[in-house]
Structure 1
Amino acid sequence: MFARQTLRALAAPSGVPKTTLVLHLKEEQQLRARSSYVRPHLTAPAPSEARHILPPTNVTKNQVFADMNSYIHVDETWFFLTKVKMRFYAYEDEVIHPRLASCGNDHSIKI
């Protein structure tokens, strides 16, 4: 599926020139670029943990968030980037399977 992201990547393994693919795209209206988004795949304890992201000490009495200007947060998971939106060339009758990403503490999605 990842070989279908661009016309150049689609033309290389199939052996069909890119110009022929462009003409086929214009003639055949069923072949088009379709988007696929990453959807979060939460495990069983994750939804209950997601409710408790901010402890009550970070919220003041009048429900205004306290500023975090005195905190420095360095996150090493910036090296594990995932593209949220990808485009693939596919026919209308083809099924593009959903891309699931587990959002854990080790590899969270940062885009």
Structure 2
Amino acid sequence: MFARSPASSSLVLIEPENAYWYITKDIRNRRQVRAVFHLSGQPYNLVVTDPYCHGRLRNLPPGCYPFYEAPGLKQDDKILFTISLGEPFEWDNCCYKLVAGVIVLPRHWRNRL
């Protein structure tokens, strides 16, 4: 599939809207962190692979949390997500989007972007 119709890009930096964390289990019953957000009115629910973010969220039990519930984040912090296209899965040969990085913008950068 992907070989016949490759993506125009595999990495993008976005500013998510209405973001929150969703702590759940994956299909192998392992802890999974997901980011649920909107971008240009479209809803997304993507796996987060950022190890630093996982560390910040490690003490939260399963459930949904506003993004600022992660230790070290504040309600008025501005975050960016690095969205990546993952490798094709063996069972369906499809590539899925994921949040590869979570960037918290320093306060002194906010008005410059």
TM-score (norm 2): 0.24
**Bigger Cα Rg:** 1
Larger strand proportion of the pair: 2
Given the two structures, how large is their TM-score scaled by the length of structure 1?
Answer: 0.24
